[in-house]
């Protein structure tokens, strides 16, 4: 699907959808708990649906009442204690494992689903085949898969598709902190289920630390103890997840970022549904907008919105700490640069970020959405300041995190035409 945005500032009020980052965490913890959990969530998206499908494949029963915004999660059978029916596999090389009769875990395009549930599936002793689409099969997992193999899991590949057979033993886990915080989150969910205590030790400084803070908050809500330690965390084994019965998923600062960036460009949008008492790192959007120097190492998902605003502001903006964006749903550094250039912006790609000379007149034209939800949304708000209509390709990608984005865009006075792809 292609969409055409006609220029014009936006105004009004918008309530952002539930945080997919918080939803992934709440649903996984609920599926590992000791009883029913009602997850209150006002919107679903493709990534959350992928996690729901994988948890169902692992044995959770999940009832969806979309009208009332409820997901009722009955946990995976045996999840409060480790299912050890395959513990004899621990330590065997993957070439000796029979991967027949595996569970099919389709992660869609969701890196969170894959990296959170890969350690969990191993801890539960599952035989599973992980698959995915888009760029997910290209995205790196080696640091995580090697750590899992070192602790007894059998895994036949480092990228999708991959076949996995548990179980796991505790002990010392070493990981880089600057590749993906999702590796850390996956282990934090899995390690409490093991018999032995574990220690996670980071070999490089942690980036995107706010996402790990979100994980730690969810674990605390479900009665799991994780103890901070030097360069990592100590995770006692033999723990059980205890359902708090009700979990309320907060609004998504990553989604709010696009409307707040539009405000920095001259729109007047009242953004609701987010909490300032949150562990979401992307709440930093309010403080970062308009800064001439931005270190994005802890908030990489904000770069498309920040870059769009920077193209309009009459200053030079230097964004650093964003090298990991090359490994997202697109090469986001290249995608953002192409977006700005297509509309008349001035941008240079650096090894770990962007240099944007803002304030240039923006023209209409065509922007490649790269099948990346954040590029499509950034291009849409940038188009409000162009001097002619802007066509954005692959705009259906917004369903990954914000299916109602264009509905909300129009409710704010934005003018959107939908074209079939190929026109």
| pLDDT of residue 421 exceeding 90 | no
Give the bridge partners for 6, in sequence order: 415
Q: What is the pLDDT of residues 137-158, one digit of tens each?
A: 999 999 999 999 999 999 999 9
Cα–Cα distances in angstroms (integers) from residue 305 to residues 37, 51, 250, 259, 332, in the given order: 35, 26, 21, 9, 12
Which three-class secondary structure state does DSSP give residue 71? strand
What are the catalytic residues?
301
Distance CA 187, CA 171 (A): 12
Distance CA 95, CA 149 (A): 12
- How confident is the model over 98-109, as a mean pLDDT? 84
Q: How confident is the model at residue 95 (pLDDT cuts 50, 70, 90)?
A: very low
| pLDDT of residue 96 exceeding 80 | no
The upper half-sphere exposure of residue 362, i.e. CA atoms within 13 Å in the direction of its Cβ, equals: 32
Q: What is the pLDDT of residues 202-245, one digit of tens each?
A: 999 998 999 999 999 999 999 999 999 999 999 999 999 999 99
Q: How confident is the model at residue 422 (pLDDT cuts 50, 70, 90)?
A: low
CATH number of 20-248: 3.65.10.10
The upper half-sphere exposure of residue 372, i.e. CA atoms within 13 Å in the direction of its Cβ, equals: 26
Tell me what pLDDT residue 99 has: 57
Contact predicate 223/153, CB 8 Å: no
Distance CA 247, CA 250 (A): 9
Tell me what pLDDT residue 47 has: 98
Tell me what pLDDT residue 167 has: 84
Q: How confident is the model at residue 100 (pLDDT cuts 50, 70, 90)?
A: low
Q: Which of 377, 412, 383 is nearest to 271 (CA)?
A: 412
Tell me what pLDDT residue 329 has: 83
- How confident is the model over 31-48, as a mean pLDDT? 97
Structure tokens at 169: 């033993």
Tell me what pLDDT residue 66 has: 84
The percentage of residues in the chain with a pLDDT greater than 90, rounded to a whole number, is 89
- How confident is the model over 367-383, as a mean pLDDT? 97
| pLDDT of residue 87 exceeding 90 | no
DSSP type of residue 193 = G
Nearest-Å Rg of the Cα atoms of the chain is 22
| pLDDT of residue 328 exceeding 90 | no
Q: What is the pLDDT of residues 277-317, one digit of tens each?
A: 999 999 999 999 999 999 999 999 999 999 999 999 999 99
Tell me what pLDDT residue 81 has: 40
| pLDDT of residue 94 exceeding 70 | no
| pLDDT of residue 80 exceeding 60 | no
Task: Locate CATH 3.65.10.10 in the chain.
Answer: 2-16+251-419, 20-248
- How confident is the model over 55-82, as a mean pLDDT? 86
Q: How confident is the model at residue 118 (pLDDT cuts 50, 70, 90)?
A: very high
pTM of the model: 0.93
Distance CA 42, CA 62 (A): 16
Distance CA 178, CA 297 (A): 9
Average confidence score pLDDT of the chain: 93
Distance CA 372, CA 329 (A): 6
- How confident is the model over 259-284, as a mean pLDDT? 96
- Helix extents (H) in 326-371: 332-342
Burial of 171 (0-12, 13-18, 19+ CB in 10 A): middle
Residue in the block written with tokens 């979309």: 66
Architecture of the domain delimited by 2-16+251-419: Alpha-beta prism (3.65)
Tell me what pLDDT residue 82 has: 37
Q: How confident is the model at residue 86 (pLDDT cuts 50, 70, 90)?
A: very low
Give the bridge partners for 374, in sequence order: none
How far, rounded to the nearest angstrom, does the alpha carbon of residue 178 sit from its chain's CA centroid?
16
């Amino acid at each position: 699907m292609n969409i055409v945005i006609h220029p014009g500032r936006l105004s009004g009020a918008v309530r952002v959808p539930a945080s997919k980052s918080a939803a992934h965490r709440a649903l996984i913890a609920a599926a590992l708990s000791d009883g029913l959990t009602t997850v209150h969530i006002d919107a679903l998206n493709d990534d959350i649906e992928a996690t729901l499908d994988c948890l169902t494949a692992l044995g959770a029963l999940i009832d969806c009442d979309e009208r009332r915004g409820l997901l009722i999660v009955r946990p995976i059978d045996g999840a409060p204690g480790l299912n050890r029916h395959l513990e004899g596999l621990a330590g065997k090389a993957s070439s000796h494992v029979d991967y027949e009769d595996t569970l099919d875990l389709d992660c869609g395009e969701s890196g969170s689903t894959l990296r959170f549930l890969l350690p969990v599936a191993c801890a539960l002793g599952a035989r599973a085949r992980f698959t995915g689409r888009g760029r997910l099969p290209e995205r790196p997992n080696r640091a995580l898969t090697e750590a899992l193999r070192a602790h007894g899991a059998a895994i036949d590949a480092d990228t999708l598709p991959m076949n996995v057979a548990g179980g796991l033993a505790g002990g010392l886990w070493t990981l880089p902190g600057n590749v993906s915080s999702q590796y850390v989150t996956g282990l934090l969910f899995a390690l409490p289920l093991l018999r032995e205590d574990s220690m996670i030790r980071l070999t490089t400084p942690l980036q995107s630390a706010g996402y790990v803070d979100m994980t730690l908050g969810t674990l605390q809500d479900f009665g799991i103890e994780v103890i901070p330690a030097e360069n990592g965390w100590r995770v006692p084994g033999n723990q059980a997840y205890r359902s708090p019965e009700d979990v309320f998923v907060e609004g998504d600062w990553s989604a709010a970022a696009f409307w707040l960036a539009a405000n920095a460009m001259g729109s007047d949008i009242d953004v609701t549904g987010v909490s300032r008492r949150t562990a979401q790192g992307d709440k930093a959007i309010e403080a970062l907008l308009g800064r001439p120097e931005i270190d994005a190492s802890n908030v990489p998902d904000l770069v498309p919105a920040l870059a769009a605003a920077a193209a309009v502001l009459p200053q030079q903006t230097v964004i650093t700490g964003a090298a990991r964006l090359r490994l997202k749903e697109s090469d986001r550094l290249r995608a953002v640069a192409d977006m700005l250039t297509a509309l008349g912006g001035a941008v240079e790609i650096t090894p770990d970020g962007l240099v944007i000379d803002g304030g240039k007149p923006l023209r209409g034209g065509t922007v490649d959405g790269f099948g990346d939800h954040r590029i499509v949304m950034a291009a849409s708000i940038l188009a409000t300041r162009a001097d002619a209509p802007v066509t954005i390709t692959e705009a259906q990608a917004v369903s990954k995190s914000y299916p109602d984005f264009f509905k909300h865009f129009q409710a704010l006075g934005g003018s959107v035409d939908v074209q079939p792809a190929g026109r």
